Amino acid sequence: MTKIKFGTDGWRAIIAKEYTTDNVARVSIAVADWLNENNDNPSVVIGHDCRFSGEMFAETAAKVLASKGVLVKIAKGFVSTPMVSLGVVKEKASLGVVITASHNPPAYNGFKLKGDFGGPLLP
The CATH number assigned to the domain holding 45 equals: 3.40.120.10
User: Residue 58 pLDDT > 80, yes or no?
Assistant: yes
* Residue 42 falls inside a structural domain: yes
pLDDT of residue 2: 83
Q: In which domain, by residue range, is 45 found?
A: 11-114
pTM for this prediction: 0.95
Does a structural domain hold residue 51? yes
84, 96 in Cβ contact below 8 A?
yes
- pLDDT value, residue 1: 80
Q: Please tell me which residue in 67, 80, 85, 102 is annotated as part of the active site.
A: 102
Domain annotation covers residue 4: no
Residue-level pLDDT at 123 = 67
Largest CA distance in the chain: 38
Q: Is residue 67 part of a domain?
A: yes
Does the residue 123 lie in any domain? Answer: no
Query: What does 51-94 look like in DSSP terms, one character per residue?
Result: STTHHHHHHHHHHHHHHTT-EEEE-SS---HHHHHHHHHHHT-S
Active site residue 102: yes
Total domains present in the chain: 1
Mean pLDDT over the full length of the chain: 96
Q: What is the pLDDT of residues 27-36, one digit of tens each?
A: 999 999 999 9
- Can you tell me whether residue 35 is helix, strand or coil? helix
* 3 within domain boundaries: no
